[in-house]
Amino acid sequence: MRKLRLNRRNNTREFTNIVSSGSSITIPLSIFSDRTVAVLEILVEYLKDMHKLSYHEIAVLINRNDRTIWTAYNRAKKKRIKKSFSKNSKFHIPVKIFSDRSVSVFEILTEYCHDSLNLKFSQIARLTDRDDRTIWTVYRRTIKKRGKI
């Protein structure tokens, strides 16, 4: 029992270090091309299954409620057909960007790809398996919310 507590304490410290250091966890952009689940659901499923994070750790990392994370994960597990993730992606997204609550997860993803990765709307659309008009609309909505227009 003492050993379990010690390990748990070390894991908590390690997790705290990850969060405070700006989070070195990155998400391959290719996982968002699965249209059977929502963007938040696939993000949560990836963090839980690939990085072995708890619901609470994911919630802290992306600034969401634990119950929201639990719900997203369970919905993703029910919906998703292919169960594996491909880490072979040319582009990787830092998980820390998803902690912004002023816009949706998909809006954050689109804004990051366009502004930071300098991808065109058509490239983002191809990589996320969406229509480029959808990407344009989501991006415009994001910059309106942020007051850049």
Beta strands in 29-145 (DSSP E): 92-94
pLDDT top residue among 3 and 141: 141
Q: What is the pLDDT of residues 35-64, one digit of tens each?
A: 889 999 999 999 999 999 999 999 999 999
Q: What is the pLDDT of residues 76-122, one digit of tens each?
A: 999 887 777 777 889 999 999 999 999 999 999 999 999 999 999 99
What is the per-residue pLDDT for 94? 96
> Tokens in use for 123?
């490239």
User: How many angstroms separate the CA atoms of 43 and 54, rounded?
Assistant: 13
Q: 146: Cβ–Cβ under 8 A, 6 or more apart, which residues?
A: 102, 103
- The angle subtended at Cα 56 by Cα 139 and Cα 11, nearest 5°, is 120
What is the per-residue pLDDT for 111? 97
One-letter identity of residue 137: T
pLDDT at 123 over 90: yes
> Tokens in use for 50?
């690939």
> Tokens in use for 31?
């996982």
pLDDT top residue among 24 and 106: 106
User: How many angstroms separate the CA atoms of 133 and 128, rounded?
Assistant: 13
| Residue 6 banded pLDDT, cuts 50, 70, 90 | very low
pLDDT at 27 over 70: yes
User: How many angstroms separate the CA atoms of 104 and 138, rounded?
Assistant: 9
Residue ranges of domains in the chain: 29-145
Note whether 121 and 132 are within 8 A (CB): yes
Q: What is the pLDDT of residues 60-76, one digit of tens each?
A: 999 999 999 999 999 99
Please state, in angstroms and as integers, the Cα–Cα distance from residue 86 to each residue in 44, 72, 81, 92, following that order: 15, 20, 14, 12
